[in-house]
Amino acid sequence: MKNVKHPMDFYLRMDRMPHIWCTGCGIGLTATAFVAAMEKAKLDTNKVCVVSGIGCTGRFAGYIKLDSFHTTHGRAIPFATGLKLANPELKVVVVSGDGDLISIGGNHFIHAARRNIDMVVICVNNFIYAMTGGQVAPTTPLTAYTTTSPYGNFEPPSNIPQIAESSGAVYVARWTALHIRRLTNSIFEALNKPGFTVVEVISPCAQYYSRINRLGDGLDMMKFYHENSQIKHWEPTDNLYIDYQKEIIVGKFVDRERPTYSESYKKWLAE
Amino acid sequence: MKANPKDVRTGVFYIDGDVAAAEGALAAGCKFLGGYPITPSTEAAEAFARRAPQVGAMFIQMEDELGSIATVMGASLSGQKAMTITSGPGFSLMMETIGFGAMLEIPFVIINIQRSGPSTGLPTRTGQADMMQARWGSHGEYEVITLSPDSPQESFDFTIKAFNLAEKYRAPVMLMSDECVGHMTEKVEIPEADKIDLEPRRLYKGPKDKYIPFKPDKDLVPPMVKAGEGYRLYLSPLSHDQRGHPLLSQKSTTRRIVDKIRLNADDIIETKEDGLDDAEVVVVSYGITSRVAYRAIEQARKSGIKVGIFRLITVWPFPDKRITELAKRVKGFVVPEINYGQIVFEVERCVHGNANVVLVPHGGGWVHNPDDILGAIKQIMKAKKRYEGIFEYKTELEKLIFGSGVQKK
C-alpha cells in the first residue's frame, strides 16, 4: 500500500497532514470539491493562487499545494486583489470563512464585487466563529445559541448571496458541504467565469455550533442540512435568509456578464 | 542595477515633497500603489495616479487603508515593487498588516506624511508624533527601517533609498515625512536613469525543488520567489520554521526578523553631521525640524556657543553608538521634535548619564521657533553638573499657554 498515491495528492500538502479540522467539519469536503474542480478545470496549476484569511477556513491555504497564502483576519480579498493586479496572469481563489469574509472583511467583499475583480471567493459558512471557541457570527441564525449569545441570538443574520449579488458579483451559488458533486460543479463554473464569483458552502461546525445547540455529531448535521435543503436555481437572493434549523435554499442564483476590472482598465487605457 | 529611463522623469522641477516622493517611487521602479485618500498625503497618490499609465504602473484606490496596505502585500509577492501612501489615522489602520509584512518578510514601502494627532488632530498641519508608532505600532516583535526627509529633494532621494533598503532587507521601510515637507514646494533635480542605483529583488536562483522560503543568506535575509512560478509557496503569518510551516516554538524565524535589522544596523544607519568637531552642544534632529535647528545653530555660533547638528536620516534603526561616543565629549544634547518627547528618550538612553539632554517639545501644527532651540542650547551651557537628567525646555508658546518655568521630568 505504501506506493499507492491518493489521486488528490498532487494538490495537497501531504507533509502538513494530519490537518487541524475536526471530525465532521465541512471544510475538508470543500477542499475535496475544490481539488476536484481544479482537476476538471485543467488550469495551469503554477498560475493558481489560493488565499485565506484567519479562522478554521483560514487554514485552507496551508493544505493546498498551489501558491498559497495565509493572510490576516479579513484581508484575504484585498491581498488577493494585489496579487491579481500586479500579475494579471494569475488565477486567484479566496477561500475563507463567513466571519473573515462577511464580518471583518465585509467592506472588501462589497468593493471587490463592485469592481468585479477576477477572483473566485469560496465562503465556508458554519454560522459561528469556531476557531475562537464558538462566538456569535454575522451569519448566526436567529435564536441559535453561541458562547456570546448565551440566551439565543437576536441579531438578524447576513444573507451572503444577497450581499454578493447586490454588490455586483457575476456568479453566486450556495450548496451544503454534502452536495459534493454540485458544489464541485459550481466551483468549476466559478473558476471558468471571468469576474467576481462567489460560492457559499454551508458547513457543520460539529464542535462549537453543534455542542451548544445540541445538534448531534458532524454527520448528523451534514445530513440535516442536506436533507433540509431545497434546490431552487435562480431564486431571488432576498429569499435566501437562513433560519435556525429550517429549510436552506441552495442552487445557482446569479450568472451574469459584467466587464471585469482588468477588462475595464485595459479598455480605459486604450482610450 | 540602474533605473529604467522610462520610469524616470529626468529634469529640474519645482514640485512639493508629496509629488517628489511619488516621482521617487516611480524612478525606483515601483509598479503598484494601493492607496486611500488622506490629508496631507493626497498629492502623492494623485501624482502617482497621473503618471502610472505612462510607465505601466498600477494605481488602485482601495475602500480603506486596511485594504490598501493588504493589496501592497499581494502585489509585492507577485513580484512588483509596491507601496502605499498615508498619514496619521490611515497609518494607524495599517498597523496589523505592517506586522504581517514584517513576519512574511515582504519588501514594501509606506510613505507617511505625518500630521498632528492624536485621532483626527490637525489634518492639514504638520507633526512628528508617529515616530514610536512606526517602530512599535504592530503587535509583537519586529524591526523596521525609517527615513526622515527634510526637503522635497530628499523626499525624492529617500523614497528611492527606501525601496532599495526594502528589497535588500525584505523588511517594512517607511518614509516618515511630514505635512511641512510634503507641502513644501522647492527645486527638485531628478537625475538621469543611469545615475540612479537600484537594489534588485533578491531572487532565488537554485533548483526549484530545493527552495526553502525562509532559509536566510549569510546576512540573515532569505532570497525570494514570485507567486505564479511553480514554487508552490506557502506563506503564513503564524510563527513558522524555515519552510514556512506553522511552528509553536521559539525556534521560529521571529528572532531572525529582528536580528536581520539589528545586526545589519551599521550598514543601514545614515546620519548627517555638521560642526561636531568642536561642538559643546549637539542638536539631534530629524525631518523638517533639522532645518529649523540650522537657524538656531547659526545664531548660537554667532553668540560664541559651539553647537553642531547630528541629523538622523534613519531614525530606526537608531544610531546608538555614535551618540554614546559624542556624549563622552560634549556638554549636552538638544532634541527638538514636533511631539512631546519620543526620540529624546532614545538619545537619553544612549547618553549613559554622560551629558545633559534637553527636549524642545512642540504640540504640532507648526514648526519650532528657532529661538526656543537656541534657548535650550543656552540652558545646556548654563548647566552646573555634567548630568542632571532629562529636561523639557519651556517654549515661548508653552509659556504663553501654560505659564513659565522650566519643569524637571
On whether residue A185 sits in a domain, the answer given is yes
Distances (CA, A) of A257 to A118, A254, B10: 12, 10, 44
Q: Does the structure show a pLDDT above 90 at B53?
A: yes
Judged by CB atoms closer than 8 Å, whether chains meet at B70 and A89 is answered as no
Tell me which residue in B58, B82, B97 faces A72 most closely, judged by beta carbons.
B97
Judged by CB atoms closer than 8 Å, whether chains meet at A78 and B67 is answered as yes
In the block, which residue shows the cell 545589519? B264
Q: Which residue of B has its CA nearest to A61?
A: B234
On whether residue A166 sits in a domain, the answer given is yes
Joined together, the cell numbers standing for residue B263 give 545586526
Share of chain B above pLDDT 70, in %: 98
Average pLDDT over residues A100-109: 97
- The confidence score (pLDDT) of residue B252 equals 81
Read off the pLDDT band of B405 (50, 70, 90).
Answer: low
On whether residue A114 sits in a domain, the answer given is yes
Q: What is the pLDDT of residues B206-217, one digit of tens each?
A: 999 899 999 999
Q: Does the structure show a pLDDT above 80 at B397?
A: no
Judged by CB atoms closer than 8 Å, whether chains meet at B233 and A89 is answered as no
Q: Does the structure show a pLDDT above 70 at B408?
A: no
- What letter represents residue B16's amino acid? D
B244 shares contact with chain A (CB less than 8 Å): no
- What letter represents residue B27's amino acid? A
- The confidence score (pLDDT) of residue B404 equals 56
Judged by CB atoms closer than 8 Å, whether chains meet at A71 and B53 is answered as no
Read off the pLDDT band of B16 (50, 70, 90).
Answer: very high
Q: Does the structure show a pLDDT above 60 at A157?
A: yes
d(CA A262, CA A119): 11
On whether residue A59 sits in a domain, the answer given is yes
Respond yes or no on whether the N-terminal peptide bond of residue A150 is cis (omega within 30° of 0): no
On whether residue A4 sits in a domain, the answer given is no
In the block, which residue shows the cell 548627517? B272
* pTM across the whole model: 0.96
3-state secondary structure of A134: coil
In the block, which residue shows the cell 502538513? A16
Write out chain B residues lying below 8 Å of A270, CB-based.
none
A267 shares contact with chain B (CB less than 8 Å): no
Q: CA torsion sign, A219 to A222 to A226 to A228?
A: positive
* Domain count of the fold of chain A: 1
Q: Which residue of B has its CA nearest to A89?
A: B228
- The confidence score (pLDDT) of residue B251 equals 78
Q: Does the structure show a pLDDT above 60 at B406?
A: no
- The confidence score (pLDDT) of residue B395 equals 81
Average pLDDT over residues B113-123: 95
Tell me which residue in B60, B73, B96 faces A79 most closely, judged by beta carbons.
B73
Judged by CB atoms closer than 8 Å, whether chains meet at B228 and A110 is answered as no
Count of C-beta atoms within a 10 Å radius of residue A233: 11
Q: What is the pLDDT of residues A117-141, one digit of tens each?
A: 999 999 999 999 999 999 999 999 9
Nearest to A186 by CA among A27, A51, A41: A41
Contact B334, B308 (CB under 8 A): no
Tell me which residue in B75, B76, B100 faces A71 most closely, judged by beta carbons.
B100
Q: Does the structure show a pLDDT above 60 at B9?
A: yes
- The confidence score (pLDDT) of residue B407 equals 53
A52 shares contact with chain B (CB less than 8 Å): no
> Which domains does chain B possess?
1-268 (3.40.50.970), 270-408 (3.40.50.920)
* Burial category of A3 from C-beta neighbours within 10 Å (exposed 0-12, middle 13-18, buried 19 and up): exposed
d(CA B109, CA A114): 28
On whether residue A192 sits in a domain, the answer given is yes
Q: What is the pLDDT of residues B297-354, one digit of tens each?
A: 999 999 999 999 999 999 999 999 999 999 999 999 999 999 999 999 999 999 999 9
Write out chain A residues lying below 8 Å of B242, CB-based.
none
Range of the domain at A84: 9-270
Average pLDDT over residues B146-158: 98
Distances (CA, A) of B240 to A229, B168, B180, B214, B231: 41, 21, 41, 9, 18
Q: Which of A83, A89, A261, A264 to mutate to test the interface with B (most CBs of B within 10 A)?
A: A83
Interface of A with B in 215-234 (CB under 8 A): none
- The confidence score (pLDDT) of residue B399 equals 78
Read off the pLDDT band of B390 (50, 70, 90).
Answer: confident
Query: Which region, left, alpha or beta, applies to residue A184 given φ > 0 means left and ψ of -120 to 50 means alpha?
Result: alpha
- Mean pLDDT score of chain A: 96
A220 CA: distance to closest CA in chain B (Å): 32
Read off the pLDDT band of B32 (50, 70, 90).
Answer: very high
On whether residue A3 sits in a domain, the answer given is no
Q: Does the structure show a pLDDT above 60 at B409?
A: no
- The confidence score (pLDDT) of residue B229 equals 94
Read off the pLDDT band of B248 (50, 70, 90).
Answer: confident
Query: How many Cβ pairs closer than 8 A exist between chain A and B?
Result: 134
What 3 state SS string does A141-197 have?
CCCCCECCECCCCCCCCCCHHHHHHHHCCCEEEEEECCCHHHHHHHHHHHHHCCCEE
Q: What is the pLDDT of residues A32-71, one digit of tens each?
A: 999 999 999 999 999 999 999 999 999 999 999 999 999 9
Judged by CB atoms closer than 8 Å, whether chains meet at A82 and B72 is answered as yes
d(CA B325, CA A77): 50
Task: Look up the CATH number of the domain holding residue A100.
Answer: 3.40.50.970
On whether residue A1 sits in a domain, the answer given is no
A15 CA: distance to closest CA in chain B (Å): 10
Write out chain B residues lying below 8 Å of A47, CB-based.
228
- The confidence score (pLDDT) of residue B216 equals 96
Give Cβ neighbours of residue A17 (< 8 Å, ≥ 6 apart).
Answer: A63
